[in-house]
Amino acid sequence: MTEVRWDGGVRSLTAGQERETCPLVVLLPGLGAMGYLVDTLAACGRWTSSFLLDVPGFGRRPPRPCPPEVPAIAATVAGWLDLVAGDRPVVLVGHSTAAQAALHVAVDRPGRVRALVLMGPTFPPEQRRFPPLARACLRDLPRENIGLVPAVLPYYLRGGVDLARMVRSAQRDRPEDVIPAVRCPTLLVRGVHDTFAHQEWLDRLTAAARDGWSVTAPGAHTFPFRRGELTGELIARAAHRAGLTVHPDRSW
């Protein structure tokens, strides 16, 4: 069951029950579109309390909790963790542009973020200009699930021109310079047909991480959509690798 919760001005969808021995799972959506990660939230909620944060706030009308830029989103998420997580360890999961924000949070809150999952991390250097980024988009779109449109369109419509501001902020960010400072185990995942997070880029980020490993999943850039069981399992495995307790039913 998914519920709406407010903490410190940030709206979130929540699933699962709090288990004292298990970490919190916190999901950050790419380009502020929460809809395609709801089934991943539900899967994580089967073994621990999980949150899908509405940042920068495209899930409702303004006012928004933060500007639509990577540094502001990261600062807002870090503050939310301080308010909500308490002493519990966190598995932080970011997809697409939110993977970039998640990287900054992991560096800023090393004592809280005990495992990091970067799904489809954007943007490789060549896509930090609009023509190559547009070409990557045109190659990716035909491989996406058509059901993705109603899952993300309402968020994009509410985001409006701020979507471009968010993309531009992500293009200015340099994940390759941030990831070496992450102290926790880091799982990087890409869809096999993802043209934004291509294999060479994923390999480069994985090699730069202190404790990084990578997995290729079915699908294109938004591979988590309707693959909640798969993504939930990957997140649980990342928690296990970090030495965190997962649901007793799980063992590897």
Question: Which whole number is the average pLDDT over 3-25?
Answer: 93
Specify the pLDDT at position 252.
45
pLDDT greater than 50 at residue 191: yes
Contact at 8 Å (CB) between 158 and 167? no
β-sheet bridge partners, residue 190: 216
pLDDT greater than 80 at residue 249: no
The whole-chain average pLDDT of the chain stands at: 95
Contact at 8 Å (CB) between 125 and 192? no
% of the chain exceeding 90 in pLDDT: 93
Find the range with the poorest average confidence among 2-6, 143-147, 185-189.
Answer: 2-6
Vertex 38 angle, CA 16 and 228, to 5°: 85
Query: What domains are there in the chain, each with its CATH number?
Result: 2-241 (3.40.50.1820)
Q: Give Cα separations from 39 to 45, 128, 184 (angstroms).
A: 10, 30, 26
Q: How confident is the model at residue 235 (pLDDT cuts 50, 70, 90)?
A: very high
Contact at 8 Å (CB) between 97 and 122? yes
E strands of the chain, at which residues?
Answer: 2-7, 10-15, 24-28, 50-53, 90-95, 113-119, 186-191, 212-217
Question: Which whole number is the average pLDDT over 160-171?
Answer: 97
Pairwise CA distance, residues 68 & 71, whole Å = 9
Predicted TM-score of the model (pTM): 0.96
Contact at 8 Å (CB) between 176 and 207? no
Q: Quick one: which of 122, 59, 68, 121 has its CA closest to 93?
A: 121
Tens of pLDDT along 198-211?
999 999 999 999 99
Tens of pLDDT along 68-93?
999 999 999 999 999 999 999 999 99
pLDDT greater than 50 at residue 132: yes
